[in-house]
Amino acid sequence: MTDPQIVLTERVQQALAHAFGTEHADADPLIRPSQFADFQANVAMSLAKRLRRAPREVAEAIKAELSDFPGTVEVSGPGFLNITLDDSWIESEARRMLTDPRLGVGTITPSQTVVIDYSAPNAAKEMHVGHLRTTIVGDSLARLHEHLGNTVIRQNHLGDWGTPFGMLIEHLLDIGEETAVAQLEAGMGTEFYQAARAKFESDDTFKLRARVRVTTLQSGDPDTMRLWHVFMDATVRYFNKLYTLLGVTLTDADLAGESMYNPMLEKTCDDLEASGAAVMSEGALCLFPPGFTGSDDKPLPLIIRKSDGGYGYASTDMAAIRYRVHDLKADRILYVVGSDQALHFRMVFASAQLAGWLPDTVSAEHVQIGMMLGKDGRRFKTRSGESVKLMDLLQEAIDRATAAIADRGYDETTRKEIAHAVGMGAVKYADLSVSHDSEYVFDFDRMLGFTGNTGPYMQYATARIRSIFRKAGVDPADATAPIVLAAPAERALGLHLLGFGELTSQVTAESEPHRLCAFLFQTASLYSTFYEECPVIKAPDPETRAYRLALCALTLRVLETGLDLLGVPVPERM
């Protein structure tokens, strides 16, 4: 374990146990980075209260226990412990990290099977920016879990089933398969849906056809199923274009839409009813998980079969959770879905527990995605009030990136590559860098900025280190000289880098990619100071040059690995 904060925590806990008894071994030493030392531990104050002793006295006792610690410990103020690590310790840890292919990132043992439900756009409605965010955050979580050695099963829970498909299929027949396919592939799903909807509302014969079609679809009629496939295949081809453009790892093998669960719904309901978990209420089959009440204080139902016999979103999610636990053998299930569905998922999880389908050994978590807002602070829409077509949005990001790098003298191919990486990197990083459950304002100007905590800044910082190696004529993999941390900027950078492994584990455990962004941003900032204060190529002597290149190489690998875990591409040069 290399992370200084973790090393310190363990050492101070040992000291506490030794000085005050083993019952204090688990106390949180409250270690935080400090402006007066590397770290400050505040545990003496809280412990002093419990022990009814003077805080400074307690602090001194801890200090005495840390006499063999590779650093200096000072007691200050009312009883703070200021801890400064020895340069030699940081150096040796940094050297070790440089030779570690995993950069101090541990693997989870035993490894877990993690089902990640993400992206999940609806075929019958528009795929909106909210889905963009669930796609990007979910994909980063998938990458993180895989990096830690977990088995990830991606589940793209497409909205590909339900009553609207009656009118969608009839509309497809009206305009002809070819036209329909062309529209859907071009991402005109919303227009398609709206046209079908308009006819449904104004034309009674169409309405009747649509109703009949729903029944034939549900009965699995081959002709209708073929038409459904024509519709869905074209829609999925559009989604795939977006995924490819974004560099998202979802493939057709990950498709597990609502339709997949259709054949399971009857049994799902029957089993829930037979076990007594579900009961009939006003003609509908319902689950009443404990602890959920409506505004009238009456128990809140999760309806799994409507009074007309139809199934809905909740029925599917009950079938899905059973499938994920029982068939996919999940240890952890992450639902990366908009925060507006929080109640739904709490009820689904509680219902699954009630039914005995979600044992304590499996954790089901809703990774809530906050709403994307426009600059006006309202739900993100185009100026004319329409929802934004994702392909257009991504294309605009690329166009703006193209303009931003226009004067850098690259040839056409390179320029296209960079613009693509910068455009997509900007959008993705913006989605990832704020905590997933907070709302955020979609703002091209800010996300494409080359300064601040943005994708382009992180890409630029990385590309700049690569260019140093090109100038030095050294392959980063060969920069293995023993790292020295003599200058303050070198020391600060080295100390920070040591935290990468532990941070990555925490970010994965807690589903918080934004903290990885913050760590990488801090890395880039510390590197930038180092670069200003410590010449690398023009270092005073060959030894200094060699170890500074090694520090550059370590920084580069942390940035590259971290950005890759976020799914943010890094162009070779910028």
Least CB distance to ligand ARG at residue 109 (A): 29
Looking at beta carbons only, is 364 or 559 nearer to ligand ARG? Answer: 364
Q: CB-based contacts of 509: which residues, under 8 Å, 6+ apart?
A: none
Least CB distance to ligand ARG at residue 392 (A): 20
Count CA atoms closer than 13 A to 240's CA, side-chain side. 13
Burial class (CB in 10 A: 0-12, 13-18, 19+), 330: buried
Binding-site size for ligand ARG (CB under 6 A) equals 9
431: three-class secondary structure by DSSP: helix
117 binds ligand ARG (CB under 6 A): yes
Q: CB-based contacts of 305: which residues, under 8 Å, 6+ apart?
A: 269, 284, 285, 311, 315
Least CB distance to ligand ARG at residue 408 (A): 40
**Given the rule CB under 6 A, which of 96-104, 117-125, 283-291, 526-534 is the region that contacts ligand ARG?**
117-125
38 binds ligand ARG (CB under 6 A): no
CA 523 to chain centre: 20
Give the torsion sign (CA, 476, 478, 484, 487): negative
76: three-class secondary structure by DSSP: strand
State how far the alpha carbon of 353 is from the alpha carbons of 304, 337, 349, in Å: 15, 20, 6
Burial class (CB in 10 A: 0-12, 13-18, 19+), 158: buried
257 binds ligand ARG (CB under 6 A): no
Choice from 159, 164, 423, 501 touching ligand ARG (CB under 6 A): 159
Looking at beta carbons only, is 316 or 462 nearer to ligand ARG? Answer: 316
Strands 363-369 and 332-338: parallel
Looking at beta carbons only, is 131 or 548 nearer to ligand ARG? Answer: 131
Looking at beta carbons only, is 193 or 530 nearer to ligand ARG? Answer: 193
Cβ contacts of 510-513, under 8 Å, gap ≥ 24? 511/141, 511/334, 511/365, 511/367, 511/436, 512/435, 512/436, 513/137, 513/140, 513/141, 513/144, 513/432, 513/436, 513/565, 513/566
The secondary structure of residue 573, as a DSSP letter, is -
Asked, as a colleague might, if the bond just before 4 is cis with ω within 30 of 0, I would say no
**Given the rule CB under 6 A, which of 103-111, 116-124, 236-244, 266-274 is the region that contacts ligand ARG?**
116-124
What distance in Å separates the CA atoms of residue 522 and residue 516, rounded to the nearest whole number? Answer: 10
What are the backbone angles phi and psi of residue 260, rounded to the nearest 5°? -60, -30
Least CB distance to ligand ARG at residue 151 (A): 19
Strands 278-281 and 284-287: antiparallel
Least CB distance to ligand ARG at residue 134 (A): 8
Least CB distance to ligand ARG at residue 573 (A): 39
Q: What is the CA radius of gyration of the chain?
A: 28
509: three-class secondary structure by DSSP: helix
320 binds ligand ARG (CB under 6 A): yes
171 binds ligand ARG (CB under 6 A): no
Choice from 91, 93, 126, 317 touching ligand ARG (CB under 6 A): 317
368 binds ligand ARG (CB under 6 A): no
Least CB distance to ligand ARG at residue 122 (A): 5
120 binds ligand ARG (CB under 6 A): yes
Looking at beta carbons only, is 120 or 388 nearer to ligand ARG? Answer: 120
Structure tokens at 554: 């370590």
Least CB distance to ligand ARG at residue 494 (A): 43
Looking at beta carbons only, is 122 or 504 nearer to ligand ARG? Answer: 122
Helix and strand counts by DSSP (H, E) for the chain? 22, 13
Least CB distance to ligand ARG at residue 337 (A): 4
Least CB distance to ligand ARG at residue 509 (A): 22
Choice from 116, 132, 337, 570 touching ligand ARG (CB under 6 A): 337
**Given the rule CB under 6 A, which of 87-95, 114-122, 269-277, 556-564 is the region that contacts ligand ARG?**
114-122
Looking at beta carbons only, is 127 or 448 nearer to ligand ARG? Answer: 127
Choice from 40, 42, 82, 122 touching ligand ARG (CB under 6 A): 122
Least CB distance to ligand ARG at residue 133 (A): 12
Choice from 63, 95, 133, 157 touching ligand ARG (CB under 6 A): 157
Asked whether the beta carbons of 512 and 549 are under 8 A apart, the reply is no
Looking at beta carbons only, is 148 or 348 nearer to ligand ARG? Answer: 348
Least CB distance to ligand ARG at residue 26 (A): 37
**Given the rule CB under 6 A, which of 115-123, 181-189, 191-199, 357-365 is the region that contacts ligand ARG?**
115-123
Residues that bind ligand ARG (CB under 6 A): 117, 120, 122, 157, 159, 317, 320, 335, 337
